[in-house]
Amino acid sequence: MITMKQYKKAAAYLQKHGGQADIAIVLGSGLGGYEESLVDAKYVDYADIPDFPVSTVPGHAGRFAFGSLNGRRVMLMAGRFHSYEGYSLDEVTMAVRVMHLLGVKTLILTNAAGGVNETFHPGDLMLITDYLNLTGRNPLRGPNLEQFGPRFPDMSQAFNEKLREVALAQAERLQIPLQSGVYCWFNGPTYETPAEIRMARTLGADAVGMSTVPETIVAHHCGMKVLGISAITNMAAGMTGGAISHEEVMQTGKQVKESFTKLMDAIVAALP
Helix (H) or strand (E) holding 97: helix 94-101
* The one catalytic residue among 246, 248, 250, 270: 246
Is-catalytic flag, 60? yes
Is-catalytic flag, 29? yes
Which is nearest to 68 in space by CA: 29, 35, 113, 26? 35
Is-catalytic flag, 84? yes
| Residues with Cβ within 8 Å of residue 213, at least 6 apart in sequence | 131, 133, 135, 183, 185
Phi, psi of 265 (to 5 degrees): -55, -45
Is-catalytic flag, 85? yes
Pairing label, strands 125-133, 179-185: parallel
Is-catalytic flag, 112? yes
* The one catalytic residue among 17, 84, 187, 199: 84
* The one catalytic residue among 55, 65, 82, 200: 82
* The one catalytic residue among 55, 83, 160, 211: 211
* The one catalytic residue among 7, 10, 37, 85: 85
| Residues with Cβ within 8 Å of residue 137, at least 6 apart in sequence | 83, 89, 187, 214
Q: Which stretches of 102-193 are DSSP H helices?
A: 161-174
Is-catalytic flag, 11? no
* The one catalytic residue among 11, 78, 113, 210: 210
Contact in structure between 101 and 224 (CB atoms under 8 Å): no
* The one catalytic residue among 7, 10, 21, 29: 29
Which is nearest to 61 in space by CA: 74, 83, 80, 75? 80
Report the distance separating Cα 87 and Cα 79, nearest Å: 14
* The one catalytic residue among 55, 117, 230, 234: 234
* The one catalytic residue among 10, 21, 60, 264: 60
Q: Which stretches of 134-243 are DSSP H helices?
A: 161-174, 194-203, 213-221
* The one catalytic residue among 112, 126, 158, 264: 112
Tell me which residues are annotated as active site.
Answer: 29, 60, 82, 84-85, 112, 210-211, 234, 246
